[in-house]
Every structure is written in C-alpha cells, then in structure tokens.
C-alpha cells in the first residue's frame, strides 16, 4: 500500500480534486506484480497508472530509470508528458520525464541511454530497439514499474506480442519489475490480464465505475439511406446541422478513402464556413499535428477522422461522436463513443449513420449490443512465430545468448506460455540458417552456436540491419505525395494506387483535389491544377469486417416476426424479401439464383464478414471454372458474395463443401496475391527479408525483385518451410480470414436453402449495385492481354514488323 | 509455337516466352542475366538468407529450353553468375546440371559486369561474340545489330496485371530480359531504356506466351511502379 505524499495530496486539494476510487485502488495495490485497470475513456486512467510512480519518486533520492510508460501512439507519449509535467513542475518534484519515439533526435537518444530519465515514455518499437543495445542491462537495471497504456489496442496486434516479449527481457534484467496495464472496456479482461502478467503469476483486474450509459442513437434523416455503397453522402445536411448544435464533433469513418470523400462533401455543403478538419494515418505528420493542435485549442467544430483518433489522446471538449457507416464491431463502437464527453460521470453522446439500407439493420443490431454491453472480440491465438523470430534476432544484437535461458524467458510471456521447445528451436533455426530443407547457408549462418555454448551474430555488423528492421507494423508500400516545387509532403498513397495513375488523373488527399504529374525519386508529384473529377485514393487493408457476434445478432433479427425498431423503409424491405424468397437464418446458408441480362447470378449469404466473403468468392469462382460454369466475376460484402456466370448454378451444395473449400485454400488460393502479401508481412517481421537496408531503395532498381518470387520459389521447393506454415496460419484470419469460413460451415452443417428465382430478390438487389467487383482472371486474362496487344500492333501497322 | 518471330539484320529470331532467344539459322539458344548464386551472395554480404533454390530453378528452366530446342550452341549473355565468388561456390548438383547441359554442344559465357573474369566452369569465355550478322555482348554499345542484356527490361499494360520481364527491340538492337529466377526489372519506359531505342520499338512480354506490344502505342499508358523488397 502506497500513501500519496503530502505535497501531491495538497496539490490535489488545492484544485478541489478528489481521487476516483479506482485511482485510490491503484495506489493501494501498487506493490502487486501485475495489475490491470479497466476504465472508460476519461476516467483518469493514465493518472491512476502514474500515481504510485509519482508517490515513489516524490522523495527525490532516486537515480536512474524508475518507470517505463509504453503506448501505441507517439502522440500519446507526447501528450502524457505534457499532462504529467503539470503537477511535477507545479510542486517542484525532482522527477525527470522524457519521451523516446521514432521522432526523438539522435543526440537526445544517445543521452537517454547514457543517463536515463526517471520516467521514460515510449512505444513498443522504440522499446524493442532499446533492448537490442549492448548496454540494455545498464539502462534498465533499476527499473521498478512499467505502465502499458491502451493495452486493449496493443493486444489486438503483433505489436502487443512484441511488447510482451520485450518485457520478458526487462524482467530478466530487473526481476522486481511491476507491470500495470490500462485498458478501455473490453469483452474479456481475463484474456488481457493473461497477456500482461508474467506467466504463470496472477494478475489482478480492477474495474473502474463504467459511468452512466451512453446516449446512442441512429441518425434519422428525411431521406432514406441508399441501397448500396459506403459514402453516406445523403447524411451531409443532417450532420452539418448536428455540428452546428454541438461544441465539437468527431466524425469517425471506417476507411481513409471514405473519410476523404466525406470531408470533401462536407466542405462543399458547408455554407456557414464551420471550421472542420480531417485527420487520418495517410496524411503527413505535420498536417496531422496542425489539426491536433487546433483541436486542443478548441478551434475546430468537427474533425473527420479514422481509427487514428481511436486512442485516448485528450482532444478537449468533444460533446458528440458520429459514426459514419456501420460500426462493424461493437467493442470499437463503445470505445469510440467514449471519446465524447471526455469527462467522468457524464453520458457520452453518439449518433450512428448507416451508409446503406443493409447497414440500417447492422446499426440497430449494434445499438442493441452496445446497450446490452454485449461486446465482441475474437479469442487471440498463440503468440505469432514471426514476432518470436524477430525477438531472437533482437536478443542476439544485445549479446550472445543461451538458448535455454531465452526459451525460459519467452515462455513467461502469456501469449507464448504454451510454446514448445521444438517450436522455439524451429524459430531459432530460421534465424540462424534460414531453416531451409536445403542447408545452403552453413557457411554464412546469421547466428552461430560457438564453443562457449552461446549463440552469436556471425557478423556483428549485421546488428545494424536487424535494428533497422525492428517492428511489426506492416505498411503496404507507400509513396509520398508532394506538390511540384514544394518540399513539404501532403501525405502518402499506396504504390498500387499510384500505379493506376496516368498524368492528368486527379485524386483526393487531405481534402484537396490534386493532379498527378509524374513520379520522381519515388515521390508522387502533383499540382493543384484539378480539372477532372477525382479518383479516390484507395487504401487497402483498412476494411474492417463485421464481427462474428454482430453478424449473428443481425441473423437473429431476421428471425423476428416484425421489426418495430427498424425504420419503416427498412422493415418493408425485409418483409418483401420474406414474401419473395426467404431471410437468411443463423444455422443455414441461403443461396439465391436468378437471371439478369443474359447472365446467371448466384448470391451466397454467408454472413462471414467482408474478408471471408471475398475469399469465398475466389474459391467459389475457381470451383465454378473447373465445373465449366463460366464464372465472370463476383462481388463481396460483409454479408454475402454475389457471383455471375454464363451458366446457372443448379446445385450449390457441392460448391460449399468444407473439403472442397479447404483444398482450394491449400492449392489454388495458395498462389493468390493476398497470400503473397501475407507471406511478405511474415517474412519481413521474422527478418527473412528486409524492409529497410542501409543503402535504402535508391540504388539500381533492377537489382531488387519482388518478394512474390520468393514465395513462389518456396512453394515449389520447400513447401513445409516455417514461413509457409506461418503464412497458412495467418490466412485463417486477416485478409484471407478462412477461419470465418470454417465458422460458417460449422454453424450451418451443410444445411443449404437454394432459392431459384426468376428475378433479383430484394436482399440481393443492393449487391448488384456494389462497387469493387472482382473479375475472374485465369485463362481469360492471358487472352485479354493478347487481344489488347494485337489490337495495338494492328493499329500501329506493325503486325508483321521485323519478320 | 508461342514464341514471337522477328528479324534483326536479316537474321530470323524467336523471342521465347521463357525469356530465351532462339536463332534457328545457327541452331543457337541465348539466355541473359542468369545471376546464378544470387541468394548465396546476398547471404554472404548482408546476412539475409533468402530461399536458396533460385539457382536450381534457373538451371531447370534453361534445361527445359535446351530440351525444347536441342541447340548446337548456348550463349549465356553475361551476369550468368551473381559474382565470381558465387561461381566458385556452386553446389555439386548445380555444376553437374551445367555439365549435363553442356554435353555435346558449344557453350559460351559472355562476360558481364557481375562476372568479369573467367569463371571456374567449363565452356568458352568471351567478352563478345559475332554470329549470324549479330554481335553478342553483355552491355549494349552504340554499334548496330547488337544483342545484349544487362538492363533487365520489364513492361506491363495498364490493368493487365503486373509488369513482366520483356525483350525490347527495334531495327538497331535487341535487349534480352533477365532469365534468372531472382531478378528484378527496369521498366521499359525508364528514360535509360527509352534513350536506347527509336520510335518503332517492340516489347515482347514473357509469360505463358510471348506477347508483342509496340512501345510507341503505349506512351499514354501508365508507368507501372515496381514493387521491390
């Protein structure tokens, strides 16, 4: 039990502040080896985490690093530094507080290593880098506490795994280290506690008073939402009105592209010139910081944003959160809503804006789930092995290591507590020799077991390359966008999108339309000469899939006799579907077939989420191609996959057999671009291929080649390689999400309702209008390419040229 | 045949979909930029251990083309080895495969910038070779009727999938694509390549079939952005 020292108590008293019960609790239990605090946004979570540190350091006799604070965002570290400084400076406490992120200067970083502050604020990547230095034992020797902020967000990604592995290393250096996790409301606190604590030690979970229930509603507009699409432009007048009636509004979008489009539409209709900003991860840092500063000063009435604003930076007086598009995930919705009224004990106010008719149903389902506090989330699997490989390399950078010791440390990490020695050795082997069946690198091993029984870097200079590639965040290749003749970047777009641009094309970035002028030194050059309607900058991989729990809730809603909670237009639509065909049921798969414009359409209502429905589309069309049905293309949403073909599907049952689909995943889909991307991410994290090299990417472009070739080569010559196993594992979630297809098969047990209709059903109609149609490639692509080339040869009069 | 037939200085040539060049008049097969031993060289120099199967894969594809054409002579047009060290470190199975392919035919290693010296593998080592009215060397000079490699040209059509390794030719010269499994490419629209060629340049894309595309007609096309690791 720790008492609040008198000078801190006085400082609080002078402000008329009283500690919240959970802040008191955290002080009382300050000695616990692991503590997890679950508190709503605005609950004084961070202060609760730091109080014991301030109390312990108030005496002033401490030297060296006492507390390490880790948060998922650099901005959060800077924000916390500011907030902590207030009491420390006011009281004149002898406490040094510094942050260390990717933005910290080289000299500052060096000084921090030589003379660490009392409190160091950092990110998982910067911490991993710190642990890779030879002097890590000295830096962390006296470390007492580590505070992990927003641990619920970190726990959802490999960044959390990397962080916990780094903690296992710190704990070995400083055995008395106490761990504190700060989390927003989550569905399974025990799972987070398991990740946080040093396995098998217990972790106490403290729950703060969740505060009053939020006030969430669906935005009712005069105009009904459109049948399809994700733009929600119809809502602009109503949303502008809401902005006018509130102090500060956050307008959340699920994707950056949608945020850009919506922002632009808002500005075009913003006749009152309300100050509205935009904030998302693809904008240049300077631009983002400008918006953040304006927000803190209270100069903005609204910010159009994406998930980058999800985490707990203090944005001042937000009194309304608007979610555009179905929230896809109830937990995230609840966390977002917490951003409004960032004060304890005041109800948060939020509005949901469905982007299309189907999302009306999803929004109502999400509202009910949020009210019932029925949060969703997928159980986390075991700790990923690619992150472990990187951890092994980081350990080797710091010092030669003993494999037994490192294995013992790793299994003290909750996510890796069930890791077998054999699996660990496989990862060590991958780091040392590449782990290939063909042992080609015995002479050039990266790690070598030497006579002292320790694993050493063969070439100590390779530590530089390893350090440059620390981290688990996989940015798809992005190119900076700059105005011609201007050094300041506007932001970034994906290479794949840049590749579709022709000089003169225009696109949206940061709310401006810019014109593509060319590519120079890997920078996209643009001008403001915008004379065409913009292409949308597409950002792949940011599409969230509707959660399993929310999908099930929607299916259950379909089972109701009537829908008093739904707006009339949507209830009438569902009623019509029931009359004409049938509404999907939780334990059956509905398949509808109908002709349209001399093609045959088949709609599979799997409710497996966008990514899995997309994968299902790839697998179904491949199967249909084999059966000679002539599939031409498909489109997928969170709820269904619509396939069109030359011949009708007379019996969908064989198409939906688990064995067939699994075979397709193993063989055909294994060559798919999504799998290659998955491989690339895992191979980069595990250190098999490098994202950054000292010479950067400037040197001769023809010397680099695509990682896709590596994937193809491994598939052909070493299909059981660890990297291929990891790729397969990852394919069960993420962009491939085959796990959701398995769920769907499990849930329905082969019960398929096939309805053959003479025309499109009400439920399928919106699917016909969906964007993002995927043409079926196969032999057809080769033929199309040949035809296009022949036509050009003919037009050029070159058909017989040279012969 | 799925190869593209054309002429340079009166000699009939076939751009094969694999990236090899077949010269029927002299029964000669020509491949460029094999970069054998590339993964070993990368491991030696950087510590990165890429899947070490590219040498076997490259040689298997050369073997296949030899079986298809049964040439009297094979010309490897330089950068056959990623460096001289890589040539010295070839596995037994790789040298055995090469010896097998060389049996009963002439074999010429043209020097490249990666493998400037004689390599410790059988065959004739030359800086350049004159044959059938054409000059074979690794890097093109300003002479006419040259067949060369070095640049690893690649090209793609908008909306037709990723860029592919390609042949480039006009009335003056012919550039071969890189044949090696671990080779990237330089886009055919790159000024370096554009400057080498006149207005009647044809790109022949490799793949399942050799597909000829006139470069002049593609000026308005996008410039694909290569992805590298």
- When pLDDT is averaged across residues A294-323 and rounded to a whole number, the result is 80
Residues in chain B closer than 8 A to A389 (CB atoms) = none
Question: What chain A residue is nearest to B82 in terms of C-alpha separation?
Answer: A703
Given this model, what pLDDT does residue A697 score? Answer: 44
* C-beta separation of A214 from A350 below 8 A: yes
Is B38 a domain residue?
yes
Say yes or no to pLDDT of A410 above 90: yes
Task: Look at residue A739 and give its three-state secondary structure.
Answer: helix
Q: For the residues A673-687, what does the mean pLDDT come to?
A: 86
Residue in A519, A704, A786 nearest the CB of B229: A704
- Beta carbons of A455 and A403 less than 8 angstroms apart: yes
Percent of chain A with pLDDT over 90: 49
Of residues A479 and B96, which shows the higher confidence score? Answer: B96
Query: Is residue B160 within 8 angstroms of chain A, CB to CB?
Result: yes
Q: Does an H or E element contain B114, and which?
A: none
Asked whether the predicted pLDDT for residue A538 surpasses 60, the reply is: no
Partner residues linked to A589 by β-bridges: A752
Measured distance CA(A217)–CA(A198) in Å, rounded: 42
Q: Which of A458, A697, A782 sits opposite B209 (nearest CB)?
A: A782
Q: Assign A678 a pLDDT band (cuts: 50, 70, 90).
A: confident
Q: How far apart are CA B72 and CA A796, in angstroms?
A: 37
Residue A143 vs residue A793, higher pLDDT: A143
Q: Which of A74-88, A688-702, B33-47, B98-112 shows the highest mean pLDDT?
A: B98-112
Q: Do B162 and B224 meet the contact criterion of CB atoms below 8 Å apart?
A: yes
pLDDT of A442: 83
Q: What is the pLDDT of residues A334-393, one digit of tens each?
A: 888 877 665 556 778 899 999 988 899 999 999 999 988 888 887 778 999 999 999 999
Structural domain boundaries, residue B70: 4-218
Give percent helix, percent strand, percent coil of chain A, each to the nearest 5: 40, 15, 40
Residue of B nearest to A794 (CA): B214
pLDDT digits over A225-248, tens only?
888 777 888 999 999 999 999 998
With beta carbons less than 8 A apart as the criterion, state whether A4 and A53 touch. Answer: no
pLDDT number for residue B229: 29
Give B-chain residues touching A784 at CB under 8 angstroms.
Answer: 160
CB contact under 8 A, A441 and B43: yes
- The distance of B221 to chain A (nearest Cα, Å) reads 7
For residue A475, is pLDDT > 90? Answer: no
Q: What is the pLDDT of residues A709-739, one digit of tens each?
A: 899 999 999 999 999 999 988 888 777 889 9
Q: Which residue of B has its CA nearest to A444?
A: B44
The counts of H helices and E strands in chain B are 5, 16
- Higher pLDDT among residues A227 and B181, named by residue: B181
Q: What is the pLDDT of residue A344?
A: 54
Q: How many CB pairs under 8 A join A and B?
A: 168
Is the pLDDT at A785 greater than 90, yes or no? Answer: no
The string of DSSP codes covering A600-611 is: EEEEEE--S-HH
Nearest to B79 by CA among B180, B6, B214, B5: B180
Out of A496-500, A573-577, A755-759, pick the least confident: A496-500
pLDDT over 50 at A428, yes or no: yes
* Rounded-to-integer distance, Cα A412 and Cα A407, Å: 9
CATH 3.40.50.300 fits A6-207, yes or no: yes
For chain B positions 32-51, those within 8 Å of chain A (CB to CB) are 39-40, 43-44, 46-51
CA B75 to the chain's CA centroid: 10
List B residues 80-139 in contact with A (Cβ-Cβ < 8 A).
91
Name the pLDDT band for B100 (thresholds 50, 70, 90): very high
**Digit-coded pLDDT (tens) for A726-783:** 998 888 877 788 999 999 999 999 999 999 999 999 999 888 877 666 666 555 555 5
CB atoms within 10 A of CB B68: 15
Predicted confidence at residue A526, as pLDDT, reads 87
Of A185-194, A401-410, A790-799, the poorest mean pLDDT is in: A790-799
Q: Hey, is the C-beta of B142 within 8 angstroms of any chain A C-beta? A: no
Question: How far is residue A343's CA from residue A319's CA, in Å, rounded to a whole number?
Answer: 10
Other C-beta atoms closer than 10 Å to the C-beta of A725 total 14
Q: Are A385 and A425 within 8 A, CB to CB?
A: no
Longest dimension (CA), chain B: 49
Neighbours of A8 (CB within 10 A): 18
Q: What is the pLDDT of residues A622-651, one digit of tens each?
A: 889 888 888 888 888 899 999 998 889 999
Reference A692, options A533, A545, A474; nearest CA is A474
Number of domains in chain B: 1
Domain with CATH 3.40.50.300 in chain A: 6-207, 215-371
- A243 three-state secondary structure: helix
For residue A552, what pLDDT is reported?
Answer: 94
B226 within some domain: no
The mean of the pLDDT values for chain A is 86
Q: Does B156 touch chain A (CB under 8 A)?
A: no
B198/A contact by beta carbon, under 8 A: no
Confidence at residue A458, expressed as pLDDT on a 0 to 100 scale: 92
Q: Is residue B111 over pLDDT 80? A: yes
With contact defined as beta carbons under 8 Å apart, do B173 and B196 qualify? yes
Query: Would you state the pLDDT for residue A508?
Result: 80
How much of chain A exceeds pLDDT 70, in percent?
90
Nearest CA to A142 among A109, A111, A164, A120?
A: A120
Which carries the bigger pLDDT value, residue A520 or residue A322? A322
CATH number of the domain within which B11 lies: 3.60.21
Total number of residues shown for chain B: 229
Residue B162 has pLDDT above 90, yes or no: no
Q: Any idea of the CA torsion for A134, A140, A142, A147, to the nearest 10 degrees? A: -170
Q: What's the whole-number mean pLDDT along residues A258-276?
A: 90
Terminal-to-terminal C-alpha distance of chain B: 35
At A595 the three-state DSSP class reads strand
> Which pLDDT belongs to residue A68?
97
pTM summary value: 0.87
For residue A521, the chain B residue with the least C-alpha distance is B225
The distance of Cα A501 from the centroid of its chain, to the nearest Å, equals 26
Q: What's the confidence (pLDDT) of residue A517?
A: 82
For B224, residues 6+ apart whose C-beta sits below 8 A from its C-beta are A499, B155, B156, B162, B163, B187
Residue among B185, B50, B53, B43 nearest A683 (CA): B50
pLDDT tens for each residue of B64-87? 999 999 999 999 999 999 998 888
Task: Answer whether B56 sits within 8 Å of A717, measured CB to CB.
Answer: yes
> Which of A320-334, A367-381, B127-141 is predicted least confidently?
A367-381
Q: What mean pLDDT comes out for the span B96-114?
A: 95
Nearest to A649 by CA among A634, A666, A663: A634
Give pLDDT, residue A116: 95
- The CATH code for residues A215-371 is 3.40.50.300
Q: What is the pLDDT of residue A276?
A: 94
Which one is predicted more confidently, A536 or B144? Answer: B144
B184/A703 touch (CB, cutoff 8 Å), yes or no? yes
Three-state SS at A321: strand
Confidence category of residue B167, pLDDT binned at 50, 70, 90: very high
**Nearest CA of chain A to the CA of B173: how many Å?**
12
What is A327-371 written as a DSSP string?
-S-HHHHHHHHTTSS-STTS--EEEEE-SSHHHHHHHHHHHHHHH
What pLDDT is attached to residue A29?
94
Whether residues B47 and A788 touch (CB distance < 8 A) is answered with no
Residue A548 confidence (pLDDT) above 60 = yes
Could you give the CA distance from residue A194 to residue B224 in angstroms, rounded to a whole number? Answer: 47
- Which chain B residues have a beta carbon less than 8 Å from that of A721? 51
Is the model's pLDDT at B208 over the cut of 80?
A: yes
ipTM rounded to 2 decimals: 0.88
Residue B1 has pLDDT above 60, yes or no: no
Query: Are the C-beta atoms of B29 and B73 separated by less than 8 Å?
Result: yes
What ranges in A246-329 are assigned the alpha helix state H? 256-269, 285-296
**Least confident residue range of A477-491, A697-711, A715-729:** A697-711
């Amino acid at each position: 039990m720790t008492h609040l020292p008198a000078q801190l108590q006085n400082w609080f008293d002078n402000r008329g502040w009283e500690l919240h019960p959970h802040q008191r609790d955290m002080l009382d239990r300050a000695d616990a080896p692991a503590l997890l605090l679950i508190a709503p946004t605005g609950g004084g979570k961070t202060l609760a985490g730091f109080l014991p540190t301030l109390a312990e350091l108030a005496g002033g006799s401490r030297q060296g690093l006492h507390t390490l604070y880790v948060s998922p965002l650099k901005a959060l570290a800077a924000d916390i530094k500011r907030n902590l400084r207030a009491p420390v400076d006011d009281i004149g406490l002898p406490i040094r507080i510094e942050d260390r992120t990717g933005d910290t200067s080289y000299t500052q970083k060096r000084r921090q290593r030589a003379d660490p502050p009392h409190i160091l604020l950092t990110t998982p990547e910067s911490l991993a880098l710190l642990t890779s230095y030879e002097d890590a034992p000295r830096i962390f020797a006296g470390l007492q506490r580590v505070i992990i902020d927003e641990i619920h967000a970190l726990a959802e990604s490999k960044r959390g795994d990397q962080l916990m592995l780094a903690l296992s290393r710190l704990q070995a250096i400083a055995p008395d280290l106490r761990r504190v996790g700060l989390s927003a409301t989550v569905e399974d606190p025990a799972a987070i506690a398991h990740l946080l604590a040093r396995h098998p030690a217990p972790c106490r979970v403290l729950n703060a008073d969740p505060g009053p229930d939020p006030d969430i509603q669906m935005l009712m507009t005069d105009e009904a939402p459109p049948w399809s699409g994700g733009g929600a432009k119809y809502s602009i007048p109503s949303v502008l009105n809401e902005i006018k009636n509130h102090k500060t509004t956050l307008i959340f979008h699920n994707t950056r592209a949608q945020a850009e489009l919506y922002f632009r539409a808002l500005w075009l209709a913003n006749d009152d010139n309300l100050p509205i900003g935009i904030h998302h991860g693809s904008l240049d840092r300077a631009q983002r910081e400008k918006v953040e500063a304006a927000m803190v000063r209270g100069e903005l009435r609204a910010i159009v944003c994406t998930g980058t604003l999800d985490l707990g930076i203090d944005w001042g007086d937000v009194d309304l959160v608007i979610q555009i598009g179905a929230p896809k995930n109830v937990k995230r919705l609840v966390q977002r809503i917490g951003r409004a009224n960032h004060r304890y004990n005041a109800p948060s106010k939020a509005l949901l804006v469905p982007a299309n008719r189907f999302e009306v149903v999803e929004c109502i389902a999400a509202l009910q789930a949020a009210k019932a506090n029925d949060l969703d989330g997928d159980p986390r699997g075991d700790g990923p092995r690619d992150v472990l490989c990187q951890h092994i390399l980081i350990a080797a950078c710091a010092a030669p290591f003993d494999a037994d010791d490192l294995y013992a440390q790793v299994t003290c990490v909750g996510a890796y507590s069930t890791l077998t020695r054999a699996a660990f050795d496989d990862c060590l082997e991958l780091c040392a020799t590449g782990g290939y069946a063909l042992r080609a690198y015995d002479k050039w091993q990266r790690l070598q077991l030497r006579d002292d029984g320790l694993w050493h870097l063969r070439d100590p200079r390779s530590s530089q390359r390893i350090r440059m590639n620390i981290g688990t965040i996989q940015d798809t290749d992005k190119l900076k966008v700059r105005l011609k003749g201007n050094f300041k970047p506007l932001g970034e777009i994906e290479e794949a999108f840049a590749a579709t641009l022709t000089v003169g094309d225009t696109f949206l970035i940061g709310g401006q339309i810019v014109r593509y002028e060319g590519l120079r030194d890997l920078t996209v050059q643009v001008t403001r000469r915008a004379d065409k309607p913009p292409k949308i900058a597409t950002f792949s991989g940011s599409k969230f899939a509707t959660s399993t729990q929310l999908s099930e809730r929607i299916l259950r809603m379909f089972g109701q006799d009537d829908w008093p909670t739904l707006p009339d237009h949507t209830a009438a639509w569902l009623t019509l579907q029931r009359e004409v065909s049938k509404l999907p049921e939780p334990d059956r798969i509905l398949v509808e077939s109908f002709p349209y414009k001399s093609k045959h359409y088949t709609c599979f209502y799997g409710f497996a989420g966008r990514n899995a429905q997309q994968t299902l589309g790839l697998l179904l069309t491949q199967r249909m191609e084999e059966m000679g049905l002539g599939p031409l293309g498909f489109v997928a949403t969170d709820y269904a996959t619509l396939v069109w073909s030359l011949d009708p599907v007379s019996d969908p049952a064989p198409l939906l057999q688990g064995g067939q689909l699994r075979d397709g995943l193993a063989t055909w889909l294994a060559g798919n671009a999504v799998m290659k991307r998955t491989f690339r991410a895992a191979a980069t994290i595990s250190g098999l291929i490098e994202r950054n090299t000292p010479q950067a990417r400037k040197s001769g472009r023809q010397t680099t080649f695509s990682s896709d070739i590596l994937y193809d080569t491994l598939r052909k010559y070493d299909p059981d390689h660890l990297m291929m196993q990891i790729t397969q594992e990852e394919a069960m979630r993420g962009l491939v999400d085959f796990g959701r297809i398995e769920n769907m098969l499990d849930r329905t047990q082969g019960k398929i309702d096939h309805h053959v209709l003479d025309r499109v059903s009400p439920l399928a109609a919106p699917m016909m209008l969906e964007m993002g149609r995927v043409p079926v490639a196969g032999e057809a692509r080769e033929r199309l390419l040949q035809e296009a080339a022949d036509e050009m040869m003919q037009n050029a009069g070159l058909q017989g040229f040279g012969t | 045949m799925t190869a593209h037939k054309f002429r340079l200085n009166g000699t009939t040539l076939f751009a094969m979909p694999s990236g090899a060049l077949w010269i029927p008049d002299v029964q000669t097969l020509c491949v460029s930029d094999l970069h054998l031993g590339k993964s070993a060289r990368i491991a030696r120099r950087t510590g990165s251990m890429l899947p070490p199967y590219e040498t076997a894969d490259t040689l298997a594809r050369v073997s296949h083309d030899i079986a298809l054409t049964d040439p009297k002579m094979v010309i490897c047009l330089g950068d056959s080895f990623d460096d001289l060290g890589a040539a010295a470190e070839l596995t037994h199975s790789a040298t055995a495969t090469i010896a097998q392919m060389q049996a009963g035919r002439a074999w010429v290693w043209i020097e490249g910038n990666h493998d400037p010296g004689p390599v410790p593998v059988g065959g004739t080592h030359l800086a350049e070779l004159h044959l059938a009215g054409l000059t074979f060397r690794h890097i093109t000079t300003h002479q006419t009727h040259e067949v060369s490699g070095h640049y690893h040209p690649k090209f793609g059509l908008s909306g037709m999938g990723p860029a592919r390794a390609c042949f480039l030719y006009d009335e003056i010269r012919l550039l071969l694509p890189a044949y090696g499994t671990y080779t990237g490419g330089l886009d055919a629209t790159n000024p370096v390549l554009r400057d080498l060629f006149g207005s009647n340049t044809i790109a022949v894309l490799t793949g399942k079939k050799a597909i000829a595309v006139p470069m002049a007609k593609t000026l308005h096309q996008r410039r694909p952005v290569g992805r590298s690791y």
